[in-house]
């Protein structure tokens, strides 16, 4: 016969509530008791009846995550951190991708709402708040991830993107760059913030931002960013004078930019210094290791997990907005560090 939770409770001399809390890693349960429960559960091959639990608790024990691109290492790192942390609390993660398509994102939102997930975590590709309004109307707790809306009273976990842009641009200036270009991302808050930080850093150092040095990557800032970065950089290289520094919206677009510069017979960083954003795990192993701004993907994911499990437990979508900004960190490598001139 299939083992039941009350059978485990009787065998161990515990209440059903205690066993249930132990399986969910509830803080009320001591480590020794939790270990006893987990050992017996493993011996019996017990599987909780999630549908029955949902009827009792009003929770589905699932958290939904929608990102613009599942292949992007930044979002993949966040998803991994969320999944690892919520698992200890008995939650599962449903992951979907919008592929930077607003219509696809709205469909994914409807899918998650239909599944009655306890919390929705959203890195939105939309320029309006229509999708967010749909979540709000259903009363489902939600967290904006990485990208935010200026007028939204919502929980948010991510970076101060103006600080990201200023940090990257100031580093190029410190390396002696004076004609600094920027590959800007899609029409979302991250791109707007990084562009603003870029302009602020130039102004603080007495450098005038030239309009022709800002190249739009289009809607593929995250999705297929290498191709967009390559094409935009080829346009920059046709300028006279050409830029001597380049701040890219993200690391994928920086990889495309590096290819375009090297194909043109130019040297990195001597002719053009290049910095990205995201600090890809393989950035240090490239032919020319890529300088980048580390956004703290793992820290962002863990903070999202902590907030999501808290919201799921209360089922209260009307809590005051919680804004959690993970500080960006400069990682300088060979793509920007120039040898001192004699």
State phi, psi for 257 to the nearest 5 degrees.
Answer: -65, -40
Evaluate whether 252 touches 222 at the Cβ level (below 8 Å).
Answer: yes
Evaluate whether 268 touches 274 at the Cβ level (below 8 Å).
Answer: yes
| Residue % of the chain over a pLDDT of 90 | 62
Q: Are strands 92-97 and 245-248 parallel, antiparallel or unpaired?
A: unpaired
pLDDT at 52: 53
Report pTM.
Answer: 0.81
Q: Are strands 329-331 and 245-248 parallel, antiparallel or unpaired?
A: unpaired
Position 167 in a domain:
yes
Interval 161-171 mean pLDDT: 98
Position 265 in a domain:
yes
CATH label of the domain that carries residue 31: 1.10.260.40
Pair 210, 320 in one domain:
no
How far apart CA 13 and CA 301 sit, in angstroms, is: 38
Pair 319, 273 in one domain:
no
Evaluate whether 61 touches 92 at the Cβ level (below 8 Å).
Answer: yes
Does the structure show a pLDDT above 50 at 54?
Answer: yes
Place of tokens 């992951």: 95
Partners of 93 in the β-ladder:
63
Question: For residue 85, how many C-alpha atoms fall within 13 Å in the half-sphere facing its CB?
Answer: 20
Instruction: Supply the mean pLDDT for the chain.
Output: 89
| Residue % of the chain over a pLDDT of 70 | 92
Evaluate whether 275 touches 291 at the Cβ level (below 8 Å).
Answer: yes
* DSSP-based three-state secondary structure for 330: strand
Locate 260 and state its tokens.
Answer: 């375009």
Domain count across the chain: 3
pLDDT at 342: 42
* DSSP-based three-state secondary structure for 155: strand
Position 334 in a domain:
no
Does the structure show a pLDDT above 80 at 258?
Answer: yes
Exposure letters 230-245 (e unless 16+ CB within 10 A, then b): bbbbbebbeeeebbbb
> Which of 119-133, 162-176, 275-289 has the largest mean confidence?
162-176
CA distance readout (Å), 4 to 8, 38, 191: 7, 14, 52
Q: What range does the domain containing 23 cover? A: 5-48
Confidence band for 270, pLDDT divided at 50, 70 and 90: very high
Residue 151, number of CB atoms within 10 A of its CB: 7
Pair 198, 287 in one domain:
yes
Position 133 in a domain:
yes
Q: Which of 22-31, 134-143, 253-262 has the lowest mean pLDDT?
A: 22-31
pLDDT at 69: 86
The beta strand positions in the chain, using DSSP E, are 62-67, 92-97, 119-122, 142-145, 155-158, 180-184, 214-216, 245-248, 273-277, 291-294, 323-325, 329-331
How far apart CA 216 and CA 225 sit, in angstroms, is: 11
The beta strand positions in 192-256, using DSSP E, are 214-216, 245-248
* DSSP-based three-state secondary structure for 127: coil
250, burial (CB in 10 Å: exposed 0-12, middle 13-18, buried 19+): buried
How far apart CA 44 and CA 46 sit, in angstroms, is: 5
pLDDT in tens, 185-238: 988 899 999 999 999 999 999 998 889 999 999 875 555 789 999 999 999 999
Evaluate whether 44 touches 8 at the Cβ level (below 8 Å).
Answer: yes
Locate 236 and state its tokens.
Answer: 């920059």
Q: Which of 42-56, 118-132, 191-205, 327-341 has the lowest mean pLDDT?
A: 42-56
pLDDT at 50: 58
Evaluate whether 68 touches 221 at the Cβ level (below 8 Å).
Answer: no
How far apart CA 91 and CA 85 sit, in angstroms, is: 9
Pair 133, 118 in one domain:
yes
Report how far apart the first and last C-alpha atoms of the chain are (Å, whole number).
82
pLDDT at 94: 96
Position 335 in a domain:
no
pLDDT at 243: 97
How far apart CA 166 and CA 197 sit, in angstroms, is: 4
CATH label of the domain that carries residue 239: 3.40.50.2300
Position 339 in a domain:
no
Residue 174, number of CB atoms within 10 A of its CB: 12
Pair 289, 194 in one domain:
yes
Position 129 in a domain:
yes
Pair 111, 98 in one domain:
yes
């Amino acid at each position: 016969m299939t083992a039941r939770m009350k059978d485990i409770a009787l065998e161990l001399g515990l209440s059903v509530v205690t066993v249930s809390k132990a399986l969910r890693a509830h803080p009320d349960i001591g480590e020794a008791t939790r270990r006893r429960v987990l050992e017996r559960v493993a011996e019996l091959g017990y599987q909780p009846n999630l549908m029955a639990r949902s009827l009792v608790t009003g929770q589905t024990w699932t958290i939904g995550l929608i990102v613009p691109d599942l292949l992007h290492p930044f979002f993949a790192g966040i998803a991994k951190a969320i999944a690892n942390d919520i698992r200890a609390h008995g939650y599962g993660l449903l992951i979907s991708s919008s592929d930077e398509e607003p219509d696809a994102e709205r469909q994914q939102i409807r899918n998650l709402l239909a599944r009655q997930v306890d919390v929705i975590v959203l890195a939105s590709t939309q320029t309006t708040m229509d999708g967010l309004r749909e979540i709000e109307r259903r009363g489902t707790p939600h967290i904006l991830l990485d990208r935010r809306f200026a007028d939204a009273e919502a929980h948010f976990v991510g970076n101060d993107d103006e600080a990201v842009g200023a940090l990257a641009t100031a580093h190029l200036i410190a390396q002696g760059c004076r004609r600094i270009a920027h590959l800007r991302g899609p029409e979302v808050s991250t791109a707007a913030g990084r562009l603003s930080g870029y302009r602020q850093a130039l102004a603080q150092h007495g450098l005038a931002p030239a309009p022709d040095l800002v190249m739009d990557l289009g809607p593929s800032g995250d999705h297929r960013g290498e191709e967009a970065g390559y094409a935009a950089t080829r346009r920059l290289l046709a300028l006279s004078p050409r830029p001597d520094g380049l701040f890219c919206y993200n690391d994928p677009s920086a990889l495309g930019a590096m290819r375009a510069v090297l194909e043109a017979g130019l040297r990195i960083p001597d002719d053009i210094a290049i910095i990205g954003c995201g600090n890809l795990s393989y950035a240090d192993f490239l032919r020319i290791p890529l300088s980048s701004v580390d956004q703290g993907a793992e820290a962002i994911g863990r903070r999202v997990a902590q907030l999501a499990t808290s919201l799921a437990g209360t089922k209260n979508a009307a809590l005051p907005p919680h804004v959690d900004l993970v500080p960006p960190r400069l990682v300088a490598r060979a793509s920007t560090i120039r040898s001192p001139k004699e």
